[in-house]
Structure 1
């Protein structure tokens, strides 16, 4: 077992910041936030709020900010457990945060560009909305898990892999929800769908992994 993080003060500040963001989101969008919590159980949230989606939505932006913070903390801890024990360093944390956020934002912009070029904006907007919400849900799940990793549980590779498995399952849940909703279109353009998977769903995370580990 490993305990790789020696000084936790800055992690405490960042976790409290995420808690504050979620508390503000819950206070400002109480009904929507409660519906969002049930995202994995049913598609009610997606059906209700996909109709009112905006290019920049404050609710989604707040949850995305939490995803960036919680996701970066988790990546930082993963790096310490799987590769090299490391104390908190702002330079490394901000590097991971910037890379993580850039990958996510560029993916969304490229997907919206594809929708505009091929005149399937409404379809792409719905697809991006679904994916964004499942990723934001991962950010919600990571917050308490980060608390346990940093303050309570003895760190181990097995534990990290288990959490990574949970993240993959949530991602797959969102992915298959999108496939089910657009099954006919995907089957009619299966080759382009495979290209999309390699270029925008798998490739960016491989690049992110290589940059961080290097």
Structure 2
């Protein structure tokens, strides 16, 4: 009888990471249960945006916790890309995840800071603060949506490349729908400054994600 070596990949650090994500979700609910309940209904109604956009700043503890959850969850989803597509990388699994997390976090935070600086320079803090709250809220919610997918992909069912790509495309479409809905709401302002709007899209909404891909893949 010949023995066949079975390679067992440790998921200990992934389990700890997912527990941290669930812990962040619990902390957010603990900070404000009513707000959390409205947040979880974000795609079904606008109550969360209407109720919390004006009186709460983007840097509130509630938003900060959900932003951390977004960074952890999205970074894990990007990490799974390397496993699903069987890409050879020099870094160890956890090192690769840390690299992805740092790059993604830096890009997200730098984008927010740059947009705030631009708003201050051009004295458009009101509309930009509204836009950032709107965009970050929906992307935080996307981070929550990705969490169960990450759990299933790690412990239950490894998706095929087609399934992963379909999910990515659906997330991109969902993100575009969210952005377009805000742009349509403020189309008069956009059309009056169309050149700067196009410049903004290229510099801060498209280019950072190409940079993210290049930095991770190298």
Aligned position for 1:16: 19
Alignment coverage as a number of residue pairs? 211
Residues 8 and 88 of structure 1 are in contact (CA less than 8 Å); yes or no, is this contact kept in structure 2? Answer: no
Alpha-carbon deviations, 1:1-27, whole Å to 9, x = none? xxxx93211111100110111012112
1:117 to 113, 121, 128: 121
Counterpart-to-counterpart distance in 1, 2:217 and 2:61:
33
- Per the normalisation by structure 2, the TM-score is 0.91
- Per the normalisation by structure 1, the TM-score is 0.92
Aligned position for 1:182: 186
Q: Looking at both structures, which has the greater relative contact order when contacts are Cα pairs under 8 Å and sequence separation is at least 6?
A: 1
Runs of 4 or more above 4 Å deviation? 85-88
Coordinate RMSD, CA, aligned = 1.8
Structure 2 spans left out of the alignment, 5+ residues: 1-7
- Secondary structure of 2:148's match? helix
Alpha-carbon deviations, 1:177-201, whole Å to 9, x = none? 2112211101111121111111000
More displaced stretch, 11-20 vs 46-55: 46-55
Deviation of 1:154 after TM superposition, in Å, equals 2.8
Alpha-carbon deviations, 1:140-194, whole Å to 9, x = none? 0011010011111133111211221232133113202211221110111112111
Aligned position for 1:158: 162
Report which of the two structures shows the higher radius of gyration computed on alpha carbons: 2
1:65 to 64, 68, 76: 68
